[in-house]
Amino acid sequence: MPEIKSAPLTPELYAYVLAHNPPLDPVQRALVASTRELFPDHAIKQVAQEQAPLLAFLVRLTGARHVVEVGTFTGLSALAMAQALPAGGRLIALDISEEWTAHAREAWARAGVADRIDLRIAPALDSLRALPAEPHVDLAFLDANKDGYVDYWEELVPRLRPGGLIVADNVLFMGQAADPSVTSGPGAHVRVFNEHVAADKRMESVMLTVADGLTLARRVA
């Protein structure tokens, strides 16, 4: 077994990490709170709090102008990325839920970024296939149904400009990705996705133990 060098994440250490990250801004904080209040059974779907500043950081780092999000829910990840876009930048947000994304729209309007976000309500695969076929996407964030990840990946990779980034969330699926006794459901779908990503010679990818597992993949061919 390889030597584990990661610090075990305790509640205290997690609080320390959050305290040393950029804080959520007032609209982001309110969105976290209102999502928990309005959708208590689904609030777990929202990206982890350290991921909002990380996604914003990645948008700024790459200078991304064309961002695609697959899986928007109540809009925290889209909000963080849209706020980090340069002038003229656009984020296309894909989801199937009118109800959850109505709440997202309110937060985006309050933050003054609604005009940068193009929300498309339809199965994400249809929306992705309707995007221009040529490479134009700078950064894509995958955070929807896990049984769609491989198909989303296959639609996105050819549309990425050289050096463009795919960020895929929940690639550990609470450890189920590496648990052979899990043979069906999202954990098993994520396992298939991870194999697909690791074998894709068009992309250079790294899997990180951020939150529920985050893969960063860059188009190299």
Q: Pick the binder of ligand SAM from 27, 68, 73, 138 (CB under 6 A).
A: 73
DSSP per position, 45-101: GSPPTTHHHHHHHHHHHHT-SEEEEE--TTSHHHHHHHHHSPTT-EEEEEES-HHHH
Contact status: 105 vs ligand SAM (CB under 6 A): no
Q: Which is nearer to ligand SAM, 71 or 89 (CB)?
A: 71
- Identify whether the C-beta of residue 138 lies closer than 8 Å to the C-beta of residue 193: no
Q: Which residues contact 148 (CB under 8 A, 6 or more apart)?
A: 70, 124, 125
Contact status: 156 vs ligand SAM (CB under 6 A): no
Contact status: 145 vs ligand SAM (CB under 6 A): yes
The site that binds ligand SAM (CB under 6 A) totals a number of residues, namely 20
Q: Which is nearer to ligand SAM, 95 or 155 (CB)?
A: 95
Residues β-bridged to residue 217: 166, 205
Contact status: 142 vs ligand SAM (CB under 6 A): no
Q: Which is nearer to ligand SAM, 72 or 215 (CB)?
A: 72
The closest of 66, 136, 86, 207 to 217, measured between CA atoms, is 207
- Identify whether the C-beta of residue 102 lies closer than 8 Å to the C-beta of residue 28: no
Contact status: 95 vs ligand SAM (CB under 6 A): yes
Phi, psi (degrees; rounded to nearest 5) at 41? -80, -10
Q: Which is nearer to ligand SAM, 38 or 220 (CB)?
A: 38
What part of residues 179-218 is at the interface with ligand SAM (CB under 6 A)?
Answer: none
Minimum distance, C-beta of residue 146 to ligand SAM, in the bound complex (Å): 9
> How far are the Cα atoms of 36, 81, 85, 113, 173 from residue 116, in angstroms, in the given order?
25, 10, 8, 5, 31
Q: What is the CA radius of gyration of the chain?
A: 17
Stretch that binds ligand SAM, among 22-30, 91-99, 171-179, 199-207 (CB under 6 A): 91-99
Q: Pick the binder of ligand SAM from 100, 108, 149, 173 (CB under 6 A).
A: 100
- Under the rule (CB under 6 A), what is the footprint of ligand SAM? 45-47, 71-74, 76-77, 94-97, 100, 123-124, 143-145, 148
